[in-house]
Structure 1
């Protein structure tokens, strides 16, 4: 059984572990360097107003995914960026669906009209996930240079609330 809740301070180490496994596997996130529990704690603590964070936990309270939305200077004020991370090997089990239900509810409560997903074009799993939630293609960023120097294209998807 998957349960979704706001993250606790004690969750940040497990969130960092999960994210670092994804970063190490490569090809699915714009993040290029490992993160620490302190990094995650700072992201949560210093997130701008109109942000929302959720974690998915299994029956043993282990973090199996997390998602957040936040405003972004590249978007109009009625839109939020979304980021989603699910434990490797645990996709297709309803974790992303449960997270998105909570995030969608939070986005509406925060006054957003739509959610933007900015996904690496080579991240097939991410593209499928957002498509399955009802996100629609609306743009492409070609030749995006990541912090490690790698150049990738990004697809922009939009979910109207």
Structure 2
């Protein structure tokens, strides 16, 4: 299987929703995952730096990664000017290198945007997510009862 990455478009929202819905269900999360939410919160987010999808040669989307810049409208307690990243990969396609492809694209976008740090806030019980970000070079800088916040230092890249 050949995986390529590109900027997500409105046409990808349905497939992205098909990825996010079962992930959120597995977390027992009631966060929205419909295509309209995907469009607003990931593809067309006002603070977006880049929303990348990973697809195969047939156009099937296997994962997506959102990189936004923290502003006053940010979803987490992250300092303004940092990047905030979120990664979602089909549950049946984890550990296939898709996340590595996605992060390479986001890392380049972060560099072009002049980011110095990227935050990934992951649920305490999301062992796959915690391992993924650690493998990409993120390190824990803060924890709460429900989450672990990891930082990626661009200068160290």
* TM-score tier (shorter): 0.7 to 0.9
Instruction: State the SS of the aligned residue for 1:51.
Output: strand
Q: What residue number does 2:25 align with?
A: 24
RMSD of aligned C-alpha atoms?
1.6
Select which of 147, 150, 156 maps to 1:157.
150
Structure 1: segments with no counterpart, 5+ residues? 143-152
Select which of 88, 95, 98 maps to 2:98.
95
Give me the TM-score of the superposition, normalised by structure 1: 0.85
Count of equivalent residues: 148
Structure 2: segments with no counterpart, 5+ residues? none
Please tell me whether the aligned partners of residues 78 and 112 of structure 1 are also in contact (alpha carbons under 8 angstroms): yes
* Aligned mates of 1:32, 1:102 — CA distance in 2: 29
1:12-45 CA distance string (max 9 Å, x none): 0010111001112226xxx523421111112245
1:105-135 CA distance string (max 9 Å, x none): 0011111101001011100000000000010
Please tell me whether the aligned partners of residues 81 and 116 of structure 1 are also in contact (alpha carbons under 8 angstroms): yes
Give me the TM-score of the superposition, normalised by structure 2: 0.87
Q: Post-superposition shift, 1:4?
A: 0.3
Q: What residue number does 2:33 align with?
A: 35
Q: What residue number does 2:139 align with?
A: 136
Instruction: State the SS of the aligned residue for 1:129.
Output: helix
Q: What residue number does 1:2 align with?
A: 3
Change (3 A) 1:76 1:51: same
* Aligned mates of 2:91, 2:48 — CA distance in 1: 29
Please tell me whether the aligned partners of residues 48 and 71 of structure 1 are also in contact (alpha carbons under 8 angstroms): no
* Aligned mates of 1:46, 1:2 — CA distance in 2: 23
Matched, 1:65 2:66: no
1:42-61 mapped onto 2 (5 Å cutoff): 42-44=40-42, 46-49=44-47, 51-61=49-59
Q: Which stretches of structure 1, 4 residues or more, deviate above 6 A after TM superposition?
A: none
